Structure 1
Amino acid sequence: MQGDLIKMRQAAATILAQQKQIETKYKQAQTTADDWLRRAELAVQKGEDDLAKEALKRRKAYQEQADQLKTQVDQLSVASGDVLNNTRALEAKLQEARSKKETLKARAASAKTSQQIQEMMSGLNTSNAVVAFDKMEQKVLAMEAQAESTKMLVGSDTVDNRFKALETGTVDDELAALKRGMLPASTSAAGSLPEGRPVQDALDLELEALRRKARAE
Structure 2
Amino acid sequence: MRQNVRHVKALIAGAIADLKLIEREIDAHGIEAKRWEEKAVFALKKGEEDLARRALTRKGEHANKADLYREQIETQQEIIDSLKSSLKTLETKLDTTRYQTAKLAAAESLGVLQSTVGATSPADAVIDTTAFDAYDRLVDRVRDLEVHAEALAELTQGDDLEQKFHELENSEKIEADLAALKTKVHPENQDP
* TM-score of the two chains, using structure 1 as the length reference: 0.47
User: 1:14 is matched with which residue?
Assistant: 14
Structure-to-structure mapping, 1:95-114, within 5 angstroms: 95-114=95-114
Take 1:11 and 1:20, find their aligned partners in 2: how far apart are those partners? Answer: 14
Query: Whose radius of gyration is greater, 1 or 2?
Result: 1
The one-character-per-residue Cα deviations of 1:173-207 (angstroms, maximum 9, x if unpaired) are xxxxxxxxxxxxxxxxxxxxxxxxxxxxxxxxxxx
User: 2:28 is matched with which residue?
Assistant: 28
User: 1:64 is matched with which residue?
Assistant: 64
The one-character-per-residue Cα deviations of 1:15-63 (angstroms, maximum 9, x if unpaired) are 2222222221121112221333355456667766444323311110111
Structure-to-structure mapping, 1:118-197, within 5 angstroms: 118=118
Take 1:19 and 1:98, find their aligned partners in 2: how far apart are those partners? Answer: 34
Take 1:2 and 1:95, find their aligned partners in 2: how far apart are those partners? Answer: 10
User: 2:55 is matched with which residue?
Assistant: 55
Give 1:88 shift: 2.0
- Structure 1, gaps ≥5 residues long: 120-217
User: 1:87 is matched with which residue?
Assistant: 87
Q: What is the DSSP-based 3-state SS (H/G/I as helix, E as strand, rest coil) of the residue aligned with 2:64?
A: helix
Amino acid paired to 1:21? L
Take 1:32 and 1:14, find their aligned partners in 2: how far apart are those partners? Answer: 27
Amino acid paired to 2:30? Q
Is 1:117 the counterpart of 2:124? The answer is no
Amino acid paired to 1:88? K
State the number of aligned residues. Answer: 119
User: 1:172 is matched with which residue?
Assistant: none
Is 1:75 the counterpart of 2:75? The answer is yes
Take 1:77 and 1:50, find their aligned partners in 2: how far apart are those partners? Answer: 41
> Which is bigger in relative contact order (C-alpha 8 A, separation at least 6)?
2
Q: What is the DSSP-based 3-state SS (H/G/I as helix, E as strand, rest coil) of the residue aligned with 1:5?
A: helix
Amino acid paired to 2:113? T
The one-character-per-residue Cα deviations of 1:59-94 (angstroms, maximum 9, x if unpaired) are 101111111222223222211221122112111211
Take 2:111 and 2:95, find their aligned partners in 1: how far apart are those partners? Answer: 24
* TM-score of the two chains, using structure 2 as the length reference: 0.52
Give 1:9 shift: 2.2
Give 1:112 shift: 2.3
Amino acid paired to 1:19? L
The one-character-per-residue Cα deviations of 1:88-139 (angstroms, maximum 9, x if unpaired) are 21112111211221122222222322222126xxxxxxxxxxxxxxxxxxxx
Q: What is the DSSP-based 3-state SS (H/G/I as helix, E as strand, rest coil) of the residue aligned with 2:69?
A: helix
